[in-house]
Amino acid sequence: MRIVPFEPDHLEEMADLGGQDWMLGYLADDHAEALAAGGPGFTGFIDGKVVGMAGITLLTPYRATTWAAVSRWSARHFLTIHRAVWRFVWQECTVARLEAFVDMDYGVGHRWAKMLGFEPEGGPKEFYLADGRAAQEYVRIRHDLRRSSRSDEHRLRGDGGDIGNSAGQRAGSSSSI
């Protein structure tokens, strides 16, 4: 799998979201631009086709929300995709608290959040998703990431380091898995 930094234009190459079609409105042009600017994001290609996109939006230097979309036909590559996302979530991302919100009716998403080590927090959030449906919040907390110096804030904003470009790559480059 080839992983490159997310660009809003990659959405045009994602033909079928398989169970996540409601996200097409959420990933509309203006929102996709905001996702690209909000924190690191990645697009995975296999055989020249987009198999998925994922990233985080920084809320504070220690808290971020996640987003992800995978194509319907990517199921046969799930293990490769899962490993890449797991590596980012647990090894490369230096945000202590990651939050994921999963459509209450999207069982695959709930299973994947748990496989990635996220744990449910609280009950369903009513009217949470872009189309008004409810979502379950999941969190991943890394207690080993202690608050430290203000230099961390610069690293998270991208003006003094890197918060998870795949395989330690700088924005604009790509890596392969």
Handedness of CA 10, 132, 139, 35 (dihedral sign): positive
Is residue 174 in a domain?
Answer: no
Amino acid at 148: S
Report the CATH number at residue 85.
3.40.630.30
Is residue 175 in a domain?
Answer: no
* C-alpha span between 166 and 71 (Å, rounded): 20
Is residue 144 in a domain?
Answer: yes
* Backbone φ, ψ for residue 52 (5° rounding): 180, 165
Q: Domain tally for the chain?
A: 1
Strongest mean pLDDT among 26-30, 34-38, 150-154? 34-38
Is residue 95 in a domain?
Answer: yes
Is residue 166 in a domain?
Answer: no
Name the H helices within 5-122: 23-26, 29-38, 78-87, 107-115
**Stretch 83-112: mean pLDDT, rounded?**
92
More confident residue, 177 or 131: 131
pTM: 0.74
Q: What percent of the chain has pLDDT over 70?
A: 72
Could you list the residue range(s) of the whole structural domain that residue 47 is in? 2-159
Is residue 26 in a domain?
Answer: yes
Which pairs count as long-range contacts for 124-128, CB under 8 Å and 24+ apart, including other chains?
125/101, 128/101
